[in-house]
């Protein structure tokens, strides 16, 4: 009999065991990214996003949905994620992942998925640009990491790297996963 697990209930050690992931640390993404300095306008926008979030967090915990609305969505707009060729999907079901040795099926939902819609890696599977998992402000942002690893697992068979972001509005964890763990 197969066991079905929701991806959000997996621990990080379970994900590492089920998918064979290994940790590799780097001090910086600088060698992987070529980032330009923020313009004055972009800096003003980032400051406004921080002030808007601070206004909410100063009076109460901020829900997951509000974290997305106040921080993640404005930052994605600022970074150009709403423009072609990127396509954003929200709360999209994750196709089932079957773990043969474990007799286990994992299901879940992406909070936010950004794909390159003009670069398919096989029919109906697009190149994952970024996966985002948001948590409410009272939860450690790292709590979304096991979900993101699970979501990345399937596509790492078809592309070399996947980037992700976990956030609770106050802390941001940006990671890169490479195939062939």
pLDDT: which is higher, 128 or 94: 128
Q: How confident is the model at residue 152 (pLDDT cuts 50, 70, 90)?
A: confident
The pLDDT mean for the chain works out to 84
Whether the pLDDT of residue 180 is over 60: the answer is no
Mean pLDDT of 156-175: 88
Per-residue burial over 82-92, b = 16 or more CB atoms within 10 Å of its CB, e = otherwise: eeeebebeeee
Residue of 178, 177, 55, 158 lying closest to 116 (CA atoms)? 158
What would the pLDDT profile of 103-112 be if each residue is shown by its tens digit?
788 877 778 8
Whether the pLDDT of residue 119 is over 80: the answer is no
Q: Report how far apart, in Å, the C-alpha atoms of 51 and of each of 3, 57, 144 are.
A: 45, 10, 24
Q: Is residue 147 packed enough to be buried (19+ CB in 10 Å), middle (13-18) or exposed (0-12)?
A: buried
Q: What is the pLDDT of residue 30?
A: 62
- Give dist(CA 90, CA 165) in Å, integer: 14
- Give dist(CA 70, CA 59) in Å, integer: 15
Is the pTM of the predicted complex or chain greater than 0.85?
A: no
3-class secondary structure, 55 = helix
Q: What is the pLDDT of residue 96?
A: 67
Residue of 61, 12, 38, 13 lying closest to 169 (CA atoms)? 61
DSSP states along 4-36: EEEGGG--HHHHHHHH-------S-STTT---P
Identify the H or E element spanning 144. Answer: none
- Give dist(CA 139, CA 84) in Å, integer: 33
What would the pLDDT profile of 48-100 be if each residue is shown by its tens digit?
999 999 999 999 999 999 999 999 999 999 989 999 889 898 877 766 677 76
What would the pLDDT profile of 3-28 be if each residue is shown by its tens digit?
888 888 888 888 888 888 877 776 66
Q: What is the pLDDT of residue 181?
A: 43
């Amino acid at each position: 009999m197969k066991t079905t697990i929701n991806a959000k209930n997996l621990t990080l050690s379970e994900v590492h065991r089920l998918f064979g992931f290994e940790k590799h640390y780097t001090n910086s993404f600088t060698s992987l990214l070529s980032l330009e300095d923020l313009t004055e306008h972009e800096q003003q926008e980032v400051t406004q996003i921080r002030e808007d979030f601070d206004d909410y967090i100063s009076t109460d915990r901020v829900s997951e949905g509000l974290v997305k609305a106040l921080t993640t969505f404005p930052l994605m707009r600022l970074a150009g994620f709403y423009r072609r060729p990127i396509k954003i999907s929200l709360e999209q079901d994750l196709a089932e992942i079957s773990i043969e040795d474990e007799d286990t099926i994992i299901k879940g939902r992406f909070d936010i998925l950004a794909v390159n819609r003009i670069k398919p890696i096989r029919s109906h599977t697009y190149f994952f640009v970024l996966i985002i998992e948001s948590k409410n402000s009272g939860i450690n942002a790292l709590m979304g990491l096991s979900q993101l690893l699970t979501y990345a697992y399937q596509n790492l068979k078809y592309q070399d790297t996947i980037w992700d972001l976990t956030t609770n509005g106050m802390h941001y964890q940006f990671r890169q996963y490479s195939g062939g763990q």
